[in-house]
Homo-oligomer: A and B are copies of this chain.
Amino acid sequence: MRADARRNYDKILATARIVFAEKGTDGSLDEVAKRAGVGAGTLYRHFPTREALIDALMKDWADRVSADADAAIATDLPARALLLGWFGHFVEHITLHRGAASKICAAMDDPSSPMFRKCRVMGDANRRVVEHLGARGELRGDVDPANVMRLVSGVASVADMSPEGLDVRPMLEVVVDGIVRP
A residues with CB within 8 A of B:
102, 105-106, 108-110, 140, 143-144, 147-148, 150-151, 153-155, 157-158, 161-163, 166, 170-171, 173-179, 182
Contact = CB atoms under 8 A, between A and B. Distances in A.
Given A148-B174, A174-B148, A162 B102 contact: no
- Scoring A140, A144, A151, A173 by chain B CB atoms within 10 A of each residue's CB, the highest score goes to A151
A41 to B, nearest CB: 26
Contacts of A155: 150-151, 154
B171 A151 contact: yes
A109 B162 contact: yes
Copies of this protein chain in the complex: 2
B150 A158 contact: yes
A90 to B, nearest CB: 14
A157 B155 CA distance: 10
Contacts of A144: 170
A161 B154 CA distance: 10
A110 B158 CA distance: 13
Contacts of A106: 161-162
A162 B109 CA distance: 6
Contacts of A162: 105-106, 108-109, 150
A110 B163 CA distance: 7
Given A173-B178, A179-B174, A153 B158 contact: yes
A26 to B, nearest CB: 11
